[in-house]
Structures are given as structure tokens and as C-alpha cells.
Chain A
Amino acid sequence: MSADPRQFKQAASQALKNPRLQTALGRIKSHFVHKRAEAVERFGAFEALRHEGHAIRDRAIANLDMLLVQFEDSVRARGGQVHWARDADEARQAVADILRQAGARTVIKGKSMVTEEIGLNDFLEREGFTPVETDLGEYIVQLRHEAPSHIIAPAFHLNKEDIAQTFREAHTGLAPERALVERSALVAEARQILRRQFESADAGITGANFLTAAEGAAVLVTNEGNGDLSRLLPRTHIVVTGIEKVVANLSEASVLLRLLTRSATGQEITSYVTIMAGPVADDAAANTATRDFHVVLIDNGRSDLLGTEAQDALRCIRCAACLNHCPVYGAIGGHAYGATYPGPIGAALNPGLIGLADACHHPNASTFCGRCAEVCPVEIPLPQIMRSWRAREYEAEPRAGARKIGFTLWAFVARRPALYRFATRIAARMIPYLGHMPLTAAPLLAGWLNGRTLPRANGHTFHDLWRQRQ
């Protein structure tokens, strides 16, 4: 699982040549794009809802400090505890401390990208705990020691046959001759195995889609119900999530829910929507005291984005619509990014979360086609944010860097129309012969002509011909 975002090009190249991955990626359209489009159509006034969602999230981000404090008070009032973590390390330690205090060993987990972001599972294993993913997709990638390749469908890069093979290798106690062809057989088998884990787990960790300040609640959507089980069955429940997930109250969260499910899977609502506020109350009052509820709130680079051009990315509700509509993600899948968040939202967030030097390819590997911003339920101007990272990268480059020199030379010429006319006249004459020239000194041009053959070119510039005509 040691992915390196700096190896993006190589990883992308591998991904493009991987026929199984390409088959899986081919399903994005029917699985996500069409379903979203139909849901938006059925809803009708989706644009108005997007504006509303945008405004709700903007208000939340603008009042982040106040809402978080209010959230903490509300959680406390319900008998829960809030733990603040500045970075991944503090967050992991906080979780481990809670688990130790609760005397927990086996931990069942609902799907959570934030726990992926902080590398929680590996850490817990090293500390002697046994984390078990209970979302089917997460469970599959955990068995394969892989990272999720998609933020709402972790095993999207796999086909049924890949999953069947993974199960045969992992579930050695089951009859080897069993049939594992149908999707339903795979689900049934996972359910059978996971039931046992649910029953014996000491603690449950889930993420949260939203936190509501007024009620001190964490709202979670799932289609498998595993989030509820992770919360309800063990004695201890820990919600691990990012500070930006907070909104004012449940009624605002419910607007976002309508946007989220339609944008994500095209559902009006997911099979389960769990509102988790305070410790689970048992009917048998005696039991109540043994239950506890914790929320670990993680910053990990988020607050650094406040006041920058990337601040708008904090509005994200992680619906994955931008991934599903991104032609680059659609070509290479999620793993090539080598980071927790792939696709357009990754390109907007990763430079802030893991550093621009590591994530430099992410905002660059985009054509700025703009489909992500067009579908984003909270109207995040994703290409604009990517562009702002490019500008920061450009600024940070040394003056004598090849790219800066190139741009400076080009701009020098382009700002002198007479010189530009002269330079383009020569260039236009050369272009028809480009295919026959050694281009080692012009790597970008060579890159362009790798896999492309320049079509006919006139040999003269428009400006020259126009002047002759006048």
C-alpha cells in the first residue's frame, strides 16, 4: 500500500495498460453518471438545491471555529467526548488511547476516508489492535492490503472475479468448491464472516458525513447498515472525522443529504441514514453506563486552507461526483494518484493535505474540462482551485528553471507583436517538417508527437497571408 504520488505518471501509464482495471472503469458511466443524471432530472430544481447547499457549506466554513465549539458543547451535554487532533499522528494516538482505556482489542469499522487519510488501520495493527472493515468494499480492499480506489466505492477497481479470488484466499475455513460467481454469493459470504466480527467486537469506529453543531450529532449514510452495527453493537463508539464536516444543525444537514445521495449514487436516499448523538441508550438502564461515545476531530492541514483560494474545497461533501465525471480519473482510476483522495477533489485538496511538492501532479493532470465543477453539488470551482495550486507551484520554481525560462522567453516574444510575427513566420515554415526532426531539445513537443502524427499545416501564418491579401 506504499503509494507515491510523485510516481503519478508511471502509475497512470500502468493503469492505462491494465485491461482489468479498464473494464472496471468502463462501468463508471452506467453505475454512477447515468444514475446521477436520472436522479437530478427526477428532482427537478436541482440547481436551486446546489445553491442552497453551497450557501450552507460556505456559512459553516466561515463560522468553523464557533460551530466546532458549539458542537463540542452539544456532544458533552449528551454525555459524549470530543478529542481534537491537529494532525494524523495526534488523531491516531487519540483513537488508540480511547481504545486502551476501553480495554478494547477488536475494532469494527464503518467506511471512512478520514481514517484512510491518517493511516489508522496500519497504526492500530502495529499497536496490537485488530481493526476489521465492515463496509463490503472496504473489507475487500483490506483483505487485499490495498487502498480504496474511489471515495465512495473503495473496491471499484475490481471485477467480480477478482473479489471471488480474494475471498477464496482469505476465507480458508469455507468449502473450497463453493460457487462464488454471482454478486449475491459474494455479499452473502462477506456477511457471514462479518457477522461474527460484529458480535465479538469491543469497539466501533465510523466516519461521519456531517456533524451538526446544535444537536451534537454525527450523521452517517450507508447502504449496508454496517455503520449502525459498528455503532450499536460494541460498548465504545468512536467517530473519526474532519473538522470541516460541521454544519449548523440537522435541518441544514438534511439539505446536504438530499444533494449527497443524488450526486453520489443517484439515490433519493441511502438505505440507512444514521443520526448518532451521544452514547447509545440501552433499554436496560444498568447497561447505559458502560457505553461511551467519542468524536475525534481532525484538522490535518484543513485549517491551513482557510483564507486561500483552496478554501472552497472545504465545502466538499465527498459525494465523488467529480471523480465519476472526470475523464482523467475515468482513464486511470484512483490508485494512480497515490493519495487518499483521487480525482478533482484530490487535485484541489491534496497539495494542502500532503504538500504541493508531493501532490504536484494532481492539479496539473487536468484538462480543465470543467465537468467536475458542473456536477459538484456544492459548486466548488475545482479547476480554479487546481489553477491556483499551479500558480503557487510556478511561483516556487527557481527563476532559472527550464519552465520559467521557457515562459519568460515566450512571453517576451508574445508581448512584441512584430517580433512575434517574425518568430511565428519561421515556426510556421518549420511545422510541416516537425515529424522528421530530432526533438530531444523540445521534450514537450516530443511528448505531443508521441502517439500523434501532425496533420497538414499551411506553412504560412494567417497574419502574413492576411497582409498579402489586403
Chain B
Amino acid sequence: MSGKERHVGLFVTCLVDLLRPEIGFATARLLEMAGCTVVVPSAQTCCGQPAWNAGADDHARALARQTIDAFAGLDYVVAPSGSCAGTIKRHYPTMLADDAAYAAKARDLADRTYELSAFLVRICGMNDLAARTNTKITYHDSCSSLRDLGVRNEPRALLAQIAGTELCELSDGEVCCGFGGMFSAKYPEISTHMADNKLADVESTGAEMLVGNDLGCLMHLEARAKHQKRNLRVRHIAEFLCEAMPEPDTGKV
């Protein structure tokens, strides 16, 4: 990878932090491969999306301001999630539009923030991962990636760089998987019904692995699949890409 060194703040996301740190490390590894210096600001916690979606606006704004400060001065902010990146990129400017001290900062952070695959492809021009697997996969686009961020081609561009990967597209790829954050806990029956539709679609592709870029959706689908004893492997795209690559020379993952 070429270009001058980019200082990238890794926005870890609550779910990756709590449940699947492997995804955070895989993300950092990909960013480093792309020539970035990865920084993990310790003042970050949650982007505030759960509060914003619930209508707890003051809490959401407070967390937005905290996140803005935590990532000040970095060239870019990258999240391994369309949902958190979407909150920062699309919703922070609205949330803080009337905040004299933070409105401009919110817009500035929004401009610097990317979902991982979009960042690797659009900004870093990553085009040769030199890795291989032998896996038939399908890809789940999260709603926020598709509709908040317009990210659709980028993950596919990365997956296409992994030799031996056969990507079988879902027939209803635009349809929500039923996660929806708090929705999945408040309306579990509707949520799992939607998961079942998605899992049926996944199954009909014949793929052995489901790959996606939002741990929320993936965890919900994996948990449903596990509950039903379906035989399905689920991976975040960062994990999938890293698992396909030869072990790095240094560092422990």
C-alpha cells in the first residue's frame, strides 16, 4: 500500500469490545496492512446509538460529544460496523445541529469517519490481499451500511481478493435481519421471525459461512441459528479476511 501515513482512530464498538475482541484485532491488522497507524483512544465508550434510537436524546448527545473529543486530531475514524459508523456519520450532525460548540465538530468527525470496508477500499485503495480460503460464503449487508452509508460494493471488492472464496448472494439481501438493537429485546418474537427468514435465505444459497460487517446482526443471526441447531458458521468480514491470510510475522492476535 502506498501513500503517506494515516493516523486512524479505531472505534471499537460496544459489541466488539464486550463479545468479540478478535474482530477489533482483525480490524487493526487490516488497517496496519493498509499502511495506517492505528490508535485506540481510551476515552471512547459507546457512540450513543442505543440512547438516540430510544429517544433518550440528552444521553445520546453527551456520548456524541465525548466521542467527538476522544477522536479529535486523528486523520480518520474507522469502525468495524456500519451501524456505529452510520451513527457518527449520519446522525451526529443532526443530533448536535443546535449545539454551538459541537455542531461543526460533529460535521468534521462525520467527514472523517468510515465503516471498515469502505475505508479500506475507498481511502486506502486496498486491492491485493493475497490470501486464500476454500469457502462458499454469503454476505449480509446491514441496513445501516446499505442505507445510511451506501456501502455495498466495498465488502464485495475485498472478498473478491480472497482466492477460493465463492460468494453466493442472498436473494433478499436488502431485507433487514430483524436485529435492530433494542428492538430485538423488546419484540423478540418479531425479531426472531425476521431472523428465520434471513437464515432460510442464507440456507438456500448453499453457503457454509455467513459473513457480514455488523456484529449486531451477526450475533443475532448466529444466536438464532445456534438456538435452532443450524449448521452455520458466522464471521465478521475483518475476521474472515484475516483468517484467510497467512499469520503475521509479529504481534499476537
Contacts and interface: CB of A to CB of B under 8 A. Distances in A.
B53 A387 contact: yes
Nearest to B63: A414
Interface string B153-192: 0000000000000000000001110111111111111111
A450 B185 CA distance: 9
Interface string A367-392: 11111011000000000000111111
B26 to A, nearest CB: 11
A9 B46 CA distance: 29
A67 B11 CA distance: 51
Given A16-B193, A444-B185, A457 B147 contact: no
B252 A469 contact: yes
Interface stretch (A224-232, A266-274, A326-334): A326-334
A181 interface: no
A196 to B, nearest CB: 44
B183 A365 contact: yes
Contact of A327 (B22, B192, B194, B226): B194
B51 A451 contact: no
Contact of A415 (B57, B66, B251): B66
A9 B197 CA distance: 20
Contact of A366 (B48, B183, B224): B183
Interface in A429-465: 431, 444-445, 447-455, 457-458, 460-463, 465
Contacts of B4: none
Contact of B180 (A368, A417, A445, A451): A368
Contacts of A70: none
Interface residues of A, number: 62
A452 B224 contact: yes
A87 B120 CA distance: 56
A40 to B, nearest CB: 14
A415 B62 contact: yes
Interface string B51-76: 11111110100110010001000000
Interface size class of B (residues with CB under 8 A): 35 or more
Chain A residues touching B, majority SS:
helix
Contacts of A365: 183, 186-187, 190
A442 B20 CA distance: 22
Contacts of A130: none
B141 to A, nearest CB: 11
Interface string A131-158: 0000000000000000000000000000
Interface of B: 12, 14, 16-22, 24-25, 28, 40, 42-46, 48, 50-57, 59, 62-63, 66, 70, 143-144, 147-148, 174-176, 178-195, 197, 219-220, 222-224, 226-227, 234, 251-252
Interface of A: 9, 12-13, 16, 327-328, 331-332, 364-371, 373-374, 387-395, 403-404, 407-408, 410-411, 414-415, 417, 420-421, 424, 427-428, 431, 444-445, 447-455, 457-458, 460-463, 465-466, 469
Given A364-B186, A428-B17, A449-B223, 6 more contacts: A370-B144, A390-B55, A414-B63, A415-B62, A431-B19, A457-B18
24 contacts: A9-B187, A12-B187, A331-B194, A366-B180, A366-B183, A367-B180, A370-B143, A371-B174, A387-B53, A387-B55, A394-B54, A407-B59, A408-B59, A414-B48, A415-B66, A417-B45, A448-B184, A450-B188, A451-B192, A461-B18, A462-B17, A465-B25, A466-B21, A466-B24
